[in-house]
Structure 1
Amino acid sequence: MSKKKLRELAINRDWCKGCGICVSFCPKKVLELDSKDKAVAVRPEDCICCKLCELRCPDLAIEVLIEQDKEDE
């Protein structure tokens, strides 16, 4: 099984209430809260696609989209 690669870290800023749960759970510190207290991916290249942010977000505001391998199609 190959390593998962991030295609996009989609954050719905309208749904994000700035609770910071995603920031706290991210093992690679990819996410931070911006000046408007909304989640933003400041280091997407460090994302390991663990989906903890997506799974823990109480507002369903984050979606981790993973690139599909040719083998998986």
Structure 2
Amino acid sequence: MPSVLFREERCKGCRLCTAACPVGIVVMDEGRLNAQGFQPAVVTEMDKCRGCAFCARVCPDLVIDVER
């Protein structure tokens, strides 16, 4: 099963990763803010992750690592 790691403290909430995810499991955590004051991106259902790494490829700040 793939693993997705977010460096949430670096996320600036641009939402590019949420748009890139083909299965819609990357979302913004609306319940909290990171140290920069942004809602960080998170994966809601890791078991549905395909490991495509589209989210990581579009991230301008290299916040996301995907391991297959």
TM-score by length of 1: 0.78
Q: CA deviation at 1:12?
A: 0.2
Aligned to 2:14: 19
| Aligned-pair identity (%) | 31
Q: Which has the higher helix share?
A: 2
Query: Runs of at least 4 residues of structure 1 off by over 3 A?
Result: none
Per-residue Cα deviation, 1:9-59 (whole angstroms, up to 9, x for no partner): 100011110110000010001110012321011011111111100110001
Of the three residues 46, 49, 55, the one matched with 1:47 is 49
| RMSD (Å), alpha carbons | 0.9
Aligned to 1:33: 28
Aligned to 1:61: 63
Query: Number of matched residues?
Result: 61
Structure 1: stretches of 5+ with no match in the other structure: 67-73
Structure 2: stretches of 5+ with no match in the other structure: 34-38
Whole-Å separation in 1 of the counterparts to 2:29 and 2:23: 17
**Matching residue's letter, 2:52:** C
Whole-Å separation in 2 of the counterparts to 1:61 and 1:20: 12
TM-score by length of 2: 0.83
Whole-Å separation in 1 of the counterparts to 2:16 and 2:45: 17
